[in-house]
Structure formats: C-alpha cells, structure tokens
C-alpha cells in the first residue's frame, strides 16, 4: 500500500511538472505573425519560394523576414508578377494589396504594417513609389512622401497622388503605441501615352569614295598643302559642315569634336541621318 502511494505521488508529480513545463513553453512561445494578401486579379502566393495558396490569402506564420512572390493567374493580358521582402512581426498583421498591370509602371498597390514603438501616441509613416507623391489624410494635405505626420488613434483615410499617376485611396486604423507604415505604389495613368520617338531629320553628310590608296587623308586646311590630321575610309559617312569656295573641298566632323577637310574629288555630299559622329 505504501509503495503504491509513492508510485502514485511520483506519477502525479511528473504529470504536474510536465504540465507546468508545457504551460510555460506555450506562454513564452512568440505569437505568430499574420499575413493578409489581396490581389486583382487572383494570384498564386509564394513564401520563400514555396507555393502556399492563392489570393485572397490569410495565414498565421512564424514571425521572420520572408520573401513573397505573387504570380497573377492566366488572363488575356500578360501581367507582371510582384516580389518583395517583408519583416513579419509577432502578433502583428501585415497587409499586402496588389493590382497587376502589364508592366511594373502600370501596377499599383500598398503594403501596410505595424511596428510596436511604445508610448501613449499613435504614429504613421507614408512612403510612395514614385517618390514625393502628395499625401492627404482625412481630406487635408499633410505633405509629400516620405512623410511622418502627427496622427490621432483611430480610422483615417489616406489619399496618395502624383502627376501622371492614378491616385490610391487607403483606409487605415492607427493604434496607440504602434507605428503604422504604409508603402504605396502608384500606377502610371492610362491617359499618359509613352512618348513617341521623334523622327530624325535628314542631314547633309559627306560620303567617302574609292581611292587608289584605300583611304582618304583629312587635312587641317582645304587643299593638298594642308597638314594631315586623320585618315578616313571609302564608304564612311561624316557630318558635312561647310564647303570651301576656292577648292570645293568639304569640311567634315571626322570624330566627335574634331573637324578637318577632305577632297571633293574623292567624296560627295549625300542626304541621310547620323545620330552621332563616328
């Protein structure tokens, strides 16, 4: 009977200690981080290279720095995937919203995250891509991103805009003791057309003709008495600068910033386009 009591007490003691250990392990174990991703259109979600689902996606995961990649599902247009690095914080939700476009410039979205800073006030930071976008909070202009305006705890409407870009409207809730960071990516406005390349105007050029030597001397002054400064080859073209009335020789730019004269017997003027001198 005595032995049975001892065994029972030992078993109960071990059970108590085990339960106590499990309690403290669970108590001190870091809370998971929350990740919430919304995209238009729907996309596959990859975390650190591993596919974890599709949007809308919400999950509690280990707090750490992760790389997320969002790959839009097949549509009529080829849309640009999105990849970024996030620092997921214990007990804090990070929100990623993305509207895919055919290019990075045509894509938009925001990343919203909290950081515990302590104190008795709420804090807000707004960052924009492109930089220096105008930031309105609750209808009042509060500066140009990046900006950290004073903010009261509670719900606020943020409008971020920039010339030639479509504005984004975001609703957030600030909390006492936390810094709320909003990174906003604006999309280039559909009304802004890419600048068409200007048609280059024809120029007067000098084309070098065949010579017995296989090259033509460029001289400092018009006429065979001028000092030789360079040699050019048949078929090459150079920007025409002027024609000497006495000899008929042509002045050319044979290198950028360097000028000389060539015989009109072994060269001719033509119309063409030359972006830069050879």
Quick one: pLDDT band at residue 15, thresholds 50, 70, 90? low
Angle at 164 between CA 138 and CA 56, to 5 degrees: 60
> What pLDDT is attached to residue 85?
92
Quick one: pLDDT band at residue 185, thresholds 50, 70, 90? very high
* CA dist list (Å): 234 to 113, 158, 188: 67, 66, 49
Quick one: pLDDT band at residue 27, thresholds 50, 70, 90? very low
**Phi, psi values for residue 24, rounded to 5°:** -70, -35
> What pLDDT is attached to residue 25?
45
Quick one: pLDDT band at residue 202, thresholds 50, 70, 90? confident
Q: Does residue 78 have a pLDDT over 60?
A: yes
> What pLDDT is attached to residue 116?
83
Look at 64 and 37; give whichever has higher pLDDT.
Answer: 37
First-to-last C-alpha distance (Å) of the chain: 108
Domains and CATH numbers, the chain: 31-188 (no CATH), 203-272 (2.30.30.40)
Q: Does residue 42 have a pLDDT over 60?
A: yes
Quick one: pLDDT band at residue 233, thresholds 50, 70, 90? very high
Give the residue ranges of DSSP H helices in the chain: 2-28
Structure tokens at 259: 């000028």
Highest mean pLDDT among 1-5, 23-27, 30-34: 30-34
Q: What percent of the chain has pLDDT over 90?
A: 65
pLDDT tens, residue by residue, 142-170: 999 999 999 999 999 999 999 999 999 99
Q: Model pTM?
A: 0.59
CA–CA separation, 190 and 103 (whole Å): 12
Question: How long a stretch of residues is the chain?
Answer: 278
Three-class secondary structure of residue 149 per DSSP: coil
């Amino acid at each position: 009977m005595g032995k049975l009591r001892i065994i029972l007490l030992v078993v109960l003691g071990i059970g108590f200690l085990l339960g106590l250990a499990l309690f403290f392990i669970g108590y001190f174990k870091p809370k998971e981080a929350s990740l919430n991703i919304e995209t238009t259109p729907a996309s596959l979600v990859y975390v650190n290279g591993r596919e974890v689902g599709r949007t809308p996606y919400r999950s509690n995961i280990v707090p750490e720095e992760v790389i997320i990649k969002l790959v839009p599902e097949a549509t009529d247009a080829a849309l640009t995937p999105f990849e970024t690095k996030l620092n997921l914080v214990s007990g804090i939700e990070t929100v990623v919203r993305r509207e895919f476009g055919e290019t990075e410039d045509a894509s938009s979205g925001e990343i919203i995250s909290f950081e515990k800073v302590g104190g008795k006030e709420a804090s807000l930071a707004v960052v924009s891509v492109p930089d220096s976008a105008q930031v309105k909070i609750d209808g009042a202009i509060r500066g140009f991103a990046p900006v950290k305006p004073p903010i009261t705890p509670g719900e606020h409407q943020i409008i971020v805009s920039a010339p030639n870009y479509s504005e984004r409207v975001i609703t957030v809730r600030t909390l006492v003791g936390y810094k709320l960071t909003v990174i906003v990516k604006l999309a280039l406005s559909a009304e802004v057309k890419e600048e068409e390349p200007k048609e280059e105007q024809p120029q007067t050029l000098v084309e070098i003709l065949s010579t017995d030597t296989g090259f033509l001397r460029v001289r400092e002054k018009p006429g065979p008495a001028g000092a030789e400064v360079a040699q050019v080859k048949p078929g090459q073209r150079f920007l025409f600068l002027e024609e000497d009335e006495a000899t008929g020789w042509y002045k050319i730019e044979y290198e950028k910033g360097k000028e000389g004269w060539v015989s009109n017997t072994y060269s001719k003027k033509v119309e063409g386009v030359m972006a830069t001198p050879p």
